[in-house]
Structure formats: C-alpha cells, structure tokens
Amino acid sequence: MTDSTERIVIVDDEKRMCESLTALLQGDGVEVRAFQESPRAVDLIKNERVDLVVTDIKMPQMDGLEILRAVKDIDDGIPVILMTGYGSMDTALEAIAEGAYNYLLKPVEFAQLELAVKRALEKRRADLAQRSLMEQLKLSNFILESRISELNALYEAGKSIGSTANLSELLKQLVSLASAVTNAEIGSIMLMDDRSEYLTIEAATGLDEQIVRSTRLPVGASIAGYVAKTGEPLIIENIEEDDRFARMNRERYSSGSLLSVPLIIKNNVLGVINMANKQTGEGFDKSDLRLLTTFASQAAVAVDDARQFEKSRRRLVEFEILHEFSKDVPNIQSWAAFRTAMVEKLNRVFPVDYAIWFTWDGYNKILVPDGIKGITSIPVTESGKIDLHKVRRDDLVLEAKELAPMDLDDVQQVTLYVGELIRNARAYPEPKQAFLAVPIRESGELTAVFYLGSDSELPYSEDDISLATLVISQATYLFEKEKALLNATRLMTMGNMISEISHDLRKPLTSIKGALQILKQRWPQIMEKSDLFGMADDEIHRMNELVRELVDFSNPNKYETNKLDLRQVVARAADLVGPDIRKHHIEFEQSFDDQVNWDVIINKNQFMEIFLNLFINAIDAMPDGGKLTVQGLVEKPDHKKSNYLAIRVIDTGEGIRKENISKIFDRYYTTKETGTGLGLAVVERIISAHNGTLHVDSTEGEGTTFTVYLPYEP
C-alpha cells in the first residue's frame, strides 16, 4: 500500500454482503477491509488511516449510528455511508444530524453505491488536500512569525549597535543583544590581538569575572580559537560527544550545546561570538546558528567602524599632543620637565605608570638613566634626577652593547631587548605585560632611549606603540630644535656683544701701541736697555690676536672646511638611511669612477645633510620598493664650459609632476603631509656656497634623478 492508496472499511453482519461489496469496490488504488464484528472495525479505524466507512445500521454489537459517532470522534473528516433495510424518516434525519455522508436503502443498487462511494472518496481527497494546505499554511505562518521575530530582534539590535561609537560600550551591548536573540544564559565576545595570535574576552555575560580577565586563548586552540582560525561558524549539539572539543570548556559552560560564530569583515576575522546554555534547556539548532551568524555580520561591521573611529580619535589626540607641545616647548626649561610633560600627555591615550630616560653612551655601549618617574624604589631629587647619594650609579647602568647595531626603526625589537636588560638589573622592578622602549636619534645617531611601562596586565597595542613612537620622536625633535634655536639666539647675541666689545677694545690697544712707538722714537736708548717696553709691545700684540679670534668666532657666516674623500661622505649617509632602505625593500647600488680624484674641500656636516635629504626623498618616493642608485663621474654640464664632479642620486619612484619641478627648490614648498619645505632649499644653498649646482630630471611615474655638480680639480 502506497501513500496514494485509498482505504475503505465495510461493516455488515451479513458475510455475503461483505463479500459482494468488497468485490464491487476493490480495485486499482483502493483497498477494502470488511468486518462483520463492528468493534473490530472501530479498532482498525483508530489505529490505521481510513478514507471511507460503509456500514449497515442494524448491527448486533454496535449499530450503524454508534459506529458513525465513533468514527467522528476518531476523525471527523472520514465520510460514513449508512445502509439499512429498515429505513425511516427518523433514522435518516438522525443519521444526517450525526454527520453521515449518505443514507442508502437496501437492497442497494450497485450503480448508486458506486456513485456514492466515488463522491465520498472525492470529498475525502479534497478534505485531506485542504487539511494538508492548512497544515502547510500554519507551518509557513509559524516560520514567518519566527523570521519576523528574528528580524525585529536584529532590527532592534542594529539600532542599538549604531547608537554608540565607544568600542568597550559597544561590545557590552553586542554580547547582551546576542544572548537575547539566541536565548542564551552565557555569552562572550572575544577579539583578536594586533598580531592575530591570541583571543581575549572583551565583553561577557554569565561568566565569572576572573575568567574574563585571565583568558588569553591562542588562535587555533579550543572552540573559539578553532572558529577564529577557520572562519567558519560552529554549532555543537552535545559537547560530550564531539571528539574535537569534549569537556574543553568544563569551567565555563555547563551545557552540552554551544554556538560559536566568527566576526568577519572584508575576509578578516576580528574575533568570535560564543553563546551557551539555552534558557529553555534545549540544545541550539540551525535556526539559532543562522540567527547568530546574521547578527555577527552586523556586529562585525559595528566593531570595525568603532575601531576605525577609535583610530581616528587617537590620530586626532596625536595631533593635539603635538600641537600642544609646539605651543608648550618654549616654556619647558629642562629635560626633566620635558619628560614629565611627555608622560602626562601620553597618559591621556594609554596608561603610563612609570618612565625612565636612558642616555646612550656610544663609546662605552651603555644606557645611563638620566631621569626616573613613577618607580618608588629608586630615589630621585625634586628635579627628577637620580639621587646618587642614595643609590649606586653602577646598579642602574645597563650594558647595551648589542643595541648599537640593532635596527632602531624596529621599536618592538628594541623594546624586547631593553626589557630583558631591565629584567636582569637588580635596581629596577620586573616589567609587566605593558612596556615600551622608544629610541631617540639626532642626525641619524642614537642619543637616548625613553622607556615607558604600565602595571596593566594587557600589553600595549600596535596603535599604542605607533602613537608613542611618533609623539615621542616628534616632541623630542621639537624640544631639541627649540633648545638649539635658543642656544643659537644666545650665541648670536653673544657674538654681537663680543663683536662690539672687540671693536671697542681695538681703540685703546691701537692708542697704547702708538704711544709705545712714540716713546721708542724719542728715547731709543731707554727702550733698548729695558725689557718692560718689549714685554708691553708683545702683550699688546697678543691682545690684538685675541681680539681677532673673538671677531672670527662671532662671525656667523664662517664655517670649517676640510679636504675629504666625497665617496666616504656618501657611504656614511647611505649607512644612516640603511634601515629605511631595508624596511622598504629598496635595492641600493653605488658606483664611482676610480680614475677620478674624489678629494674635495667641503664642510662635512653640510654635505652629509645634502645626501641625507636626497636619500630620504628617494626612499619616500618608493614606499613599496624600488631601486636607489648613486653614480659618481666627471662630466660637463649643459650650462658649464668645463668638467665638473657629478654625483647622481637616481630613484625609480613616483617622480615629480612637470608643474612642480620649478617649485621644489622654493622655501616652504612641500608635497608631504609632515614636510617643512626646507630640505631641497637648504641643499641648493649649501651646494651654491661650495660653487656647485644642483640639477633635477624627473618623469612622473618612472623616477627622479638629482645631480650634484662640484668644481673638479684633476
């Protein structure tokens, strides 16, 4: 019997009648079961599907009307045809009132019975089809209501998500909303660290606070780590039966059912949402997983937006701090005050509980602490200096011989190295998770290391490190320039004063020298016999030389020159920018004509500034790598009549627009966001002061060539 087979039950106490009706109605798609005992027929109707009942009214155990009532109690949709040889109007009315489909009198004409059966089965089929449609409609309505409920929950979640840009508050809202839409008692949101190595719980509900603080889960480990690594949502119906994760989270989740869904934005996994212990006591199903996955996609966008907002806010704070320093620097009179101001401003962005300023002694390869803040175990004076009367200097100095050759642009490498030195030094407290060492350089040379730390259990993030590095280096540069400007102003004032004093001194010296010459002419014998006049004359000459030296010293336009091998200056400048060249994967190549005399009379520091400027500009033009070439040769420039030494600095970078080439040597003109516009202007001025010229050729998108021309002496 297939699902499409229709079943007819015949009830009649006459055996011949049962056999006749069975033979008449049995056929393709129709199965007939005949009973002479009415209770047996009712039992069958109770336990099996029946599409039609044909019964006699007069029966010894249950009459036809009683069978009709029993069938209607079992399934009101089963049609019942009553037959009787004792027909009456009362019986017919009662049959119809009880719900009989038809009422036939015996002897029944078979054609009439066949028609009645056919119509009854058609009605049964129609009723069953309608019933099936109604069930499907109810199921569809239930699914639709569930989806509407889910969408309403997601809509409300979306409104709540968009109401805050604070990441911490947002995560708390997200975990609360996620547990609400999935009816979970326990939930957590875990985010990746900057290096995508660990997951930490950033917000949770239903979890012990100690678990939240202490959890640091490697990516790939446990359930959340597995989801973070694969990027696939996971539903565990019974954790006890899952070989991958059985009892892995005994201390966190008492339920055997758990959901874990990744937070993904632009194919990058930001973290994981975990839900456990459904409030109804049932296990999570696929609809719960689908709902949480949909929610997670919204949450990932919100988390990414909040992170971007946080980065923008930190960037703004970075500019605010630098702007404040540019205003405050003239009022900061000492390095101790500078360091204190630095710590106070950085503390607005991330916690800084202590700080140590180490001065670099390059000759002895040691770090010498010059100021300490926040470490109570080391006594300091009111000015922030270490009180050497109460602590031995040797206990504080760090042997840092490996620091000099280290890539100082890799702040994390410097941080780990200095942190290890501090761990091995008895005078300093043990560094915790959050510490940072920022190298300070001047003219490419290491001068100091600023060490910062916090008592927090969480390490500084890459954003913290980047912000601190930029702010410290730029603020230090501003402070050094301010002090240098102040010193230059003082020197200029002193020079002017010395020049005036020297000028005034020359007048009495000239008068004294003239008087001695007059005395020598009038009384030569006395002058020859006495040493006093000769001594006076010598002292006047010495004083005159001293005055001349003072005048030379006070001349701001005088600078020292030496005869140097220009190749050595270029090599030294290339060494200083070596870390940047390697960092940007730039190929460096230099070649000089060995037949040429490269000894030139120049100011070494100024020519170092020339090539550092040209190299740095070339590196900036090739952020994604390229080739930097230095060529030294002798040639005659187009605008000269004789040969010159030519040093070409060639890059394969972005090039310079034609309309900008005429402006690049103008003071204060720059295309860089952080440039001053003085670099190339200073380069051209220095070369001009050495009777040379600077030429530039550039093609936008292909590269730039700067050629330094200097007078050549074979």
State the CATH number of the domain containing residue 655. Answer: 3.30.565.10
Residue 609 to residue 614: CA distance in whole angstroms: 9
Distance between CA atoms of residues 508 and 520, nearest Å: 18
Q: Which amino acid is at 295?
A: F
Question: Is-contact 9 41, C-beta < 8 A?
Answer: yes
Phi-psi domain of 109 (left: phi exceeds 0; alpha: psi -120 through 50; beta: other): beta
Q: Are residues 530 and 441 in the same domain?
A: no
CA-closest candidate to residue 452, choices 339, 362, 318, 317: 339
- The answer to the question of residue 655 being in a domain is yes
13 touches 36 (CB < 8 A): yes
How does pLDDT run across 62-118, given as a tens digit for each residue? Answer: 888 998 899 999 998 899 999 887 777 888 888 888 888 888 888 888 888 889 889
Q: What is the mean pLDDT of the chain?
A: 79
Residues 302 and 168 in one domain: yes
Considering 312, 345, 361, which residue would you say is the last residue of a domain? 312
> Residue 461: what residue type?
S
For residue 341, the Cα-to-chain-centroid distance in whole angstroms is 28
Is the predicted pLDDT of residue 678 greater than 50, yes or no?
Answer: no
CATH number, position 512:
1.10.287
Residue whose entry in the numeric block shows the structure tokens 């008692």 = 185
Q: Worst-scoring range by mean pLDDT, 145-159, 523-537, 611-625, 648-662? A: 145-159
Instruction: Tell me the DSSP string of 214-255.
Output: H-EEETTSHHHHHHHHH---EEES-GGG-TTTTTTTTTT--S
Q: What is the pLDDT of residue 272?
A: 92
Q: How many domains does the chain have?
A: 5
Grouping H, G, I as helix, E, B as strand and the rest as coil, residue 25 is helix
- Please list, in sequence order, all residues whose beta carbon lies within 8 angstroms of the beta carbon of residue 169, skipping any fewer than 6 positions away: none
On whether residue 174 sits in a domain, the answer given is yes
Q: 593 and 685, same structural domain?
A: yes
Q: Which residues contact 353 (CB under 8 A, 6 or more apart)?
A: 374, 453, 454, 455
SS3 of residue 712 by DSSP: coil
d(CA 610, CA 692): 12
Q: Which residues of 314-346 are buried (b: 16+ CB within 10 A; e: fewer)?
A: beebbeebbeebeebbeebeebbebbbbbbebb
How are the residues of the chain apportioned to helix, strand and coil, as percentages rounded to the nearest 5?
Answer: 50, 20, 30
**Rounded-to-integer distance, Cα 157 and Cα 174, Å:** 8
> Do residues 524 and 622 both lie within one domain?
no
Per-residue pLDDT band for 44 (boundaries 50, 70, 90) equals: very high
Q: What pLDDT band is residue 253 in, cutting at 50, 70 and 90?
A: very low
The C-alpha atoms of residue 80 and residue 69 are separated, in whole angstroms, by 10
Residue with the bigger pLDDT between 679 and 227: it is 227
What's 168's domain CATH number?
Answer: 3.30.450.40
Task: Note whether 272 and 263 are within 8 A (CB).
Answer: yes
Q: What are 512-517's contacts with CB under 8 Å, separation 24+? A: 512/536, 512/540, 513/537, 513/540, 513/544, 516/540
| Beta-strand relationship, 6-11 and 52-56 | parallel
| 543 in the same domain as 583 | no
Lowest pLDDT segment from 168-177, 291-300, 557-566, 671-680 = 671-680
If asked whether residues 450 and 354 sit together in one domain, one would say yes
Question: Are 192 and 228 a contacting pair, CB within 8 Å?
Answer: yes
Does 686 reside within a domain?
A: yes
Mean pLDDT check: name the lowest of 33-37, 342-346, 547-551, 701-705. Answer: 547-551
Q: What is the DSSP string of 318-386?
A: HHHHHHHHHHHGGG--SHHHHHHHHHHHHTTTS---EEEEEEEETTTTEEEEEEEES-TTS-B-TTS-B
Q: Which of 10-19, 316-325, 679-688 has the highest mean pLDDT?
A: 10-19
Q: Is 322 domain-assigned?
A: no
Question: What is each CA distance from 470 to 315, 318, 407, 505, 523, in whole angstroms?
Answer: 11, 8, 17, 51, 76
| pLDDT value of residue 444 | 61
Query: Is 345 within 8 Å of 355 (Cβ atoms)?
Result: no
Q: How confident is the model at residue 363 (pLDDT cuts 50, 70, 90)?
A: low
Q: Are residues 80 and 191 in the same domain?
A: no
Q: Are residues 624 and 659 both part of a single domain? A: yes
Asked if 246 and 342 sit in the same domain, the reply is no
**Listed residues 553, 580, 601: the one ending a domain:** 553
CB 513 within 8 A of CB 534: no
Q: Among 408-422, 487-501, 517-531, where is mean pLDDT lowest? A: 487-501
Residues above pLDDT 90, as percent of the chain = 8
Alpha-helical runs (H) found in 410-461: 411-423
Give the closest residue to 617 by CA, choosing from 542, 700, 704, 493: 704
What is the pLDDT, as a whole number, of residue 550? 59
User: What is the span of the domain harbouring residue 75?
Assistant: 6-133
Alpha-carbon distance values, 266 to 7, 191, 193, 230 (Å): 60, 16, 17, 15
- CB atoms closer than 10 angstroms to residue 260: 27
Q: What is the pLDDT of residue 672?
A: 55
Q: How far apart are CA 378 and CA 408, in angstroms?
A: 28
Q: What is the DSSP letter of 455?
A: S
Number of helices followed by number of strands (H, E) in the chain: 19, 23
Q: Which residue has the higher pLDDT, 334 or 632?
A: 632
pLDDT computed for residue 251 by the predictor: 47
Q: Which of 133, 215, 147, 139 is nearest to 181 (CA)?
A: 147
With respect to residue 648, please indicate whether it lies within any of the assigned structural domains: yes
Of 630, 642, 601, 606, nearest to 706 by C-alpha is 630
Cis peptide bond upstream of 107, omega within 30? yes
Residue 479 lies in a domain: no
CATH code: domain of residue 105 = 3.40.50.2300
- E strand or H helix that includes residue 205: strand 198-205
Q: Is position 86 within any domain?
A: yes
Q: Contacts from 382-390 at CB under 8 Å and sequence distance 24+? A: 383/334, 383/336, 384/336, 384/339, 384/340, 385/336
**pLDDT reading at 124 higher than 60:** yes
- CA gyration radius for the chain? 49
- 588 and 611 fall within a common domain: yes
Half-sphere exposure of 359 (CA within 13 A, CB side): 10
Here the tokens at position 556 are 């701001």
Mean predicted confidence (pLDDT) in 466-474: 79
Residues 674 and 694 in one domain: yes
Q: At 667, is the pLDDT very low, low, confident or very high (cuts 50, 70, 90)?
A: very low
When pLDDT is averaged across residues 235-248 and rounded to a whole number, the result is: 63
Q: Are residues 43 and 118 in the same domain?
A: yes
Q: Is residue 190 part of a domain?
A: yes
449, 437 in Cβ contact below 8 A? yes
Higher-confidence residue of 431 and 4: namely: 431
3-state secondary structure of 117: helix
Domain boundary among 86, 112, 133: 133
Query: In the prediction, which pLDDT does 488 show?
Result: 55
> Across the strands, what pairs with 440?
448
